[in-house]
Amino acid sequence: MFIFSSVDEFSVLRKSIKEELAQISGKDAQRIFIAINEGVNNAIFHGNKADNRKKVYLTMEKLLDELKIVIRDEGDGFCYAETSSARSGFEEHGRGFEIIQHCMDSYQVNRVGNEITLIKKINTA
């Protein structure tokens, strides 16, 4: 588990996360990291509102044929249905979920809106 409060703290962990992803997922590591980065930015800036007293928790778990990544913040959450319907691909902000969807096989936001689970199928051969 990785725990951090700011982009600066996350940047210290980036190398370790990328190395772990490379071991688990090989060629998909970069795409997975892009999705993680989007989720982390959402957690820091939108969830925790850049409050360095609040933490972000990142876990990665290799299951039989998939990688499961959970990013949780200590914010109040948000209504994903409202946010997803209000997005526009031409705006600079609000594309994080579209990028995550492009990089991962699936993702899920919890009911509260302070946790996202990312799933990527991995080749176990």
Q: What is the pLDDT of residue 48?
A: 97
3-state secondary structure of 67: strand
3-state secondary structure of 121: strand
3-state secondary structure of 81: helix
Do residues 104 and 32 touch, judged by C-beta distance below 8 A?
yes
Closest CA to 95 of 46, 28, 29: 46
| Domains defined along the chain, listed by start | 2-121 (3.30.565.10)
Closest CA to 113 of 86, 84, 80: 80
Residue range 1-60, pLDDT digits in tens: 999 999 999 999 999 999 999 999 989 999 999 999 999 999 999 999 999 999 999 999
